[in-house]
Chain A
Amino acid sequence: MIYTDLLVVGAGPAGLSAAAAAGTQGLDVLVLERSHQPGGQLVKQTHMFFGSKEQYAAYRGFEIADFLLDMIKMPNVKLQLNATALAAYDDGIWTAQVGEKYIKVKPRAVVVAAGANERNILFPGNDLPGVYGAGAVQTLMNQYGVRPAKRVVMLGAGNIGLIVSYQLLQAGVEVAAVVEASPNIGGYLVHASKLRRMGVPILTSHTVKRADGNETLESVTTWAIDEKWQGIPSTEVIWSADTLCIAVGLSPLCELLWQAGCKMVFVPELGGYVPYRDGNMATSIEGIYAAGDAAGVEEASVAMVGGKLAGLSAARYLGVDIPDESILDCHKQLEALRSGPAGAKIRAGLGKLTH
């Protein structure tokens, strides 16, 4: 049995920020990370971040991952890689698989920052090799340096769809088209404009009808949809492509929170079922906190600030004297990140969460 003050599940932007915040207060922290490489999805982000200085604006995601890893370099914080958290038990014991070993952890508090899962949608052929999550393609090209395809169709014009399309072009891959079911481009127009300047069509009010190929993907059929999101016959276009990227959103990975008995709320604006939490990231179960996409799908800057807030809240719960100003500073940063029209959906979702 491993005893620790704080267990953090996930070494992405939220988990590392939580570990750094609690570790700086002198608490013993154990971070469990499923992958062989820490940093979560930051390691494949090659674009520069927005926001302010505290949120590493103007640095690229993979550089930010290195900053966060430096911040947890202290003797009381242990990062365990290749460690998959498995279960949360009623007696407060959490288990994990570390390589081939099964371990048990008895923490005094927990931050769950497990991230999110890429969604798929239904169409014939969506299981063909060559139909990938957009994040998977980003992993292949930006983390491992593998050109994932020759010619891609991208489904989804949110920020992930737009950014990954641009990164595909940077890696020398042809992007045939970006297809978006909604009548509007969901992502920032600065990203969309870059694609348009490079001649990539962005087709709004269109979706994928089917994917075809002998053993692996060879073509994608798209069609226009009406205001009820039904396909319009005879508008089909067949694109020759060896890869179809699906960028239709993420779902929070909160199985451990369900299992721990946390109250869960269905909030579509935050990606589906998310843990109820107060303004300081505390779930309905005493001593259990949630941060990052597992607490509601937003973006990496929010994950870092939310993670820090969760780490500070856990430290306060464990009896460390945390000044109110530190907590308020996190609130202020979160408010700034969620301000403006781009944050309207998130603000609406968070409004539902507290009721």
Chain B
Amino acid sequence: MRIEEHPILDFNRGKPITFTFDGQTVTSYENETVAVALHSAGIRILSRSQKQRPRGLYCAIGNCASCMMVVDGEANVKTCITLVQEGMEVKTQIGKGILA
């Protein structure tokens, strides 16, 4: 789903990186946020509400709370403004998240 050729833009994605999403390995780049990397991999469900309704991105710039996930054990991380890191463990968040 990454755009390889664009009429106006060049994309500087940086070095390749891998991290895990619910245990599955995802390939990404160092200049991508977690939400962007997951979206590129076709993953659009980032969390579930208390009533188990699926949640995805909404604003992508850190305003809303729709993209919050569990990252390296920490809940309620806004994944749309969090850059991926090598070996990061990202998990679907269910409900309101628990402080580790």
The answer to whether B56 touches A129 (Cβ under 8 A) is: yes
A131 CB–B CB distance under 8 Å? yes
Q: Give the residue of A34, A140, A171, A216 whose beta carbon is less than 8 angstroms from that of B60.
A: A140
Q: Which residues of A contact B49 (CB under 8 A)?
A: 127
Complex Cα gap A145–B40 (Å): 9
The answer to whether A146 touches B60 (Cβ under 8 A) is: no
**Residue tally, chain A, CB below 8 Å to B:** 36
A105 → chain B, closest Cβ, in Å? 20
Q: Which residues of B contact A91 (CB under 8 A)?
A: none
The answer to whether B6 touches A130 (Cβ under 8 A) is: no
The answer to whether B63 touches A35 (Cβ under 8 A) is: no
The answer to whether B3 touches A172 (Cβ under 8 A) is: yes
Report the tally of A-B residue pairs with Cβ distances under 8 A.
98
With A34-B62, A35-B81, A132-B58 known as contacts, the answer to whether A144 contacts B44 (CB < 8 A) is no
**Residue tally, chain B, CB below 8 Å to A:** 35
The answer to whether A141 touches B60 (Cβ under 8 A) is: no
The answer to whether B58 touches A147 (Cβ under 8 A) is: no
Q: Give the residue of B9, B36, B54 whose beta carbon is less than 8 angstroms from that of A46.
A: B9
- Residues on B lying within 8 angstroms of A by beta carbon are 1-3, 6-9, 11, 13, 31-33, 36, 39-40, 44-46, 49, 53-64, 66, 80-81, 83
**Mind listing 26 A-B residue pairs with CB under 8 Å?**
A35-B61, A35-B62, A36-B83, A46-B8, A117-B63, A118-B63, A127-B53, A129-B55, A132-B58, A135-B59, A136-B58, A139-B60, A140-B60, A141-B3, A142-B9, A145-B2, A145-B3, A145-B6, A145-B11, A146-B2, A146-B40, A147-B2, A148-B39, A215-B54, A216-B44, A253-B63
Besides the known contacts A130-B56, A145-B2, A145-B11, 17 further A-B residue pairs in the complex with CB atoms under 8 A apart: A34-B81, A41-B61, A46-B8, A46-B9, A127-B49, A132-B56, A133-B58, A136-B58, A136-B59, A137-B60, A139-B80, A140-B36, A144-B32, A146-B36, A147-B3, A170-B8, A172-B3
